[in-house]
């Protein structure tokens, strides 16, 4: 079932007298329960793609439909609502509140939905349990390992039951053993029916997903089925 459809999407930036064509005519469909990686070198357009898909930015032209909604015509308040309802973000740098414990970090997105405290706490506890951190709910980010912090970030993305999990270089700050653990968790989430979109420059991460979309010069260069190679931890 179709979840995302981009039709001739372009994103241009003016830099002095030059026009940078960050996205230059993107056509793509992402279906529900896809497990897709966008890969490409610096300047390929994958970061701009992430911003468009995550409703953090709007295309210069073209159409973006998300769950049947025409996203590019929405105003900033409507885009904010779409982000809160439809998209769970997972960032390379975790983006956790440093003075809030794991439970409070995961509860944070629910405040914007006006969910009552008791329900927020129960939902956050459930999300932390799903990522194996039920015994770390009172820990601050600086009391957690990198892998644990990323799991908190994943729990925070999951707690709102979004249509899409959008991960930006989710293993970029992790060692190889923790990378394996996080990708195994992504596998589990995909098996549960989640739609995952991973933005990465690492071919090994991309090959672990089910579908690889390679970008070059603001365009889709290839869209292929991944080899599903196993990620190995170094000793």
Residue 232 is assigned to a structural domain of this protein: no
What is the arithmetic mean of pLDDT over 181-200? 93
Q: Is residue 63 part of a domain?
A: no
d(CA 109, CA 117): 12
CATH code (residue 166): 3.40.50.300
Residue 82 has pLDDT above 80, yes or no: yes
At 42 the pLDDT is 87
Q: 3-state class of 225 per DSSP? A: strand
Range of the domain at 163: 32-56+87-225
Mean pLDDT, residues 19-33 taken together:
96
pLDDT higher than threshold 60 for residue 234: no
Computed over every residue of the chain, the mean pLDDT equals 92
**Is residue 197 predicted with pLDDT exceeding 60?**
yes
* Distance from C-alpha of 162 to C-alpha of 157, rounded to nearest angstrom: 8
Percent of the chain past pLDDT 70, that is, above it, reads: 97
Q: Would residue 19 count as lying in a domain?
A: no
The string of pLDDT tens digits covering residues 155-165 is 999 999 999 99
Q: Is residue 43 part of a domain?
A: yes
Q: Does residue 153 carry a pLDDT above 60?
A: yes
User: Picking from 72-76, 125-129, 219-223, which range would have the lowest pLDDT averaged per residue?
Assistant: 72-76
Give CA–CA dist 211/151, Å, rounded: 23
The predicted-structure confidence for 33-75, as pLDDT tens digits, reads as follows 999 999 999 889 999 999 999 999 999 999 999 999 999 889 9
The candidate with the shortest Cα–Cα distance to 217, out of 97, 59, 60, 46, is 46
DSSP secondary structure letter of residue 142? G
Q: Is residue 47 part of a domain?
A: yes
pLDDT at 170 over 50: yes
Quote the number of domains for the chain.
Answer: 1
Instruction: For residue 32, report the phi and psi dihedrals to the nearest 5 degrees.
Output: -60, 140
Q: What is the pLDDT of residue 235?
A: 46
């Amino acid at each position: 079932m179709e979840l995302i459809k981009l039709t001739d999407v372009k994103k241009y930036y003016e830099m002095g007298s030059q026009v940078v064509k960050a996205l230059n005519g993107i056509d793509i469909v992402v279906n529900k329960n896809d497990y897709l990686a966008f890969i490409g070198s610096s300047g390929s357009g994958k970061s701009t793609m992430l911003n468009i898909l995550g409703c953090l930015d709007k295309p210069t032209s073209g159409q973006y439909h998300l769950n049947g909604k025409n996203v590019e015509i929405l105003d900033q308040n409507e885009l904010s609502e779409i982000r809160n309802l439809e998209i769970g973000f997972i960032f390379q740098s975790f983006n956790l509140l440093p003075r809030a414990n794991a439970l409070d970090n995961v509860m944070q997105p629910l405040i914007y939905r006006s969910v009552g405290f008791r329900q927020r706490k129960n939902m956050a506890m459930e999300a932390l349990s799903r990522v194996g951190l039920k015994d770390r709910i009172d820990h601050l980010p600086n009391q957690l390992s990198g892998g644990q912090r990323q799991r908190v970030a994943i729990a925070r993305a999951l707690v709102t039951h979004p249509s899409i999990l959008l991960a930006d270089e989710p293993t970029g700050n992790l060692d190889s053993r923790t990378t394996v653990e996080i990708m195994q968790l992504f596998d589990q989430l995909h098996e549960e029916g989640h739609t995952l979109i991973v933005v990465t420059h690492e071919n090994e991460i991309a090959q672990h997903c089910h579908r690889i979309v390679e970008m070059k010069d603001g365009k889709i260069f290839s869209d292929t089925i991944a080899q599903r190679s196993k990620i190995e931890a170094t000793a």
